[in-house]
Amino acid sequence: MPVCGISRLISQTIVCVRVTGVDLILVWSEGRAVACERICPHEQADLSLGHLSGGRLFCPRHAASFDLRNGRISSGWPSRPLRLYPVRIRDDQIWTDAGAIKKPMA
């Protein structure tokens, strides 16, 4: 389902969306759209309040960051990876499916 226009995401960088009852954030990072869970799996902070740098999403509550290619947390933090969801762009709209979790890259 379409969840956000590409121009809105590019201008805002982080956009909150709800897809089939699941709270996600869309992130524009290094020229691509990424969909991930909105709540930090480590300290349950709202990641939409975090910041981006070098392809990583930084939690607003602690210094840990998540790699937006595979969801892995920075070293030294006891947490599962951030859940990433598949994204595609069609007709200037971003589509994602909250029921499908992106398989981690090796």
How is the chain split into domains, by residue range?
2-96
Cα–Cα distances in angstroms (integers) from residue 55 to residues 19, 47, 65, 100, in the given order? 24, 14, 10, 22
pTM: 0.89
Tens digit of each residue's pLDDT (9 = 90 or more) over 3-33? 999 999 999 999 999 998 899 999 999 999 9
**H helix and E strand count, the chain:** 1, 10
Tens digit of each residue's pLDDT (9 = 90 or more) over 52-83? 999 999 999 988 999 999 999 998 888 899 99
Query: pLDDT band for position 104 (50/70/90)?
Result: low
Q: 89 has which bridge partners?
A: 94
AA letter at 101? I
Task: Tell me if residue 85 falls in helix, strand or coil.
Answer: strand
Query: pLDDT band for position 35 (50/70/90)?
Result: very high
Q: CATH number for the 2-96 domain, one of 2.102.10.10, 3.30.470.20, 3.10.180.10, 1.10.3720.10?
A: 2.102.10.10
AA letter at 30? E
Question: Among positive and negative, which fits the CA dihedral 36, 42, 46, 49?
Answer: negative
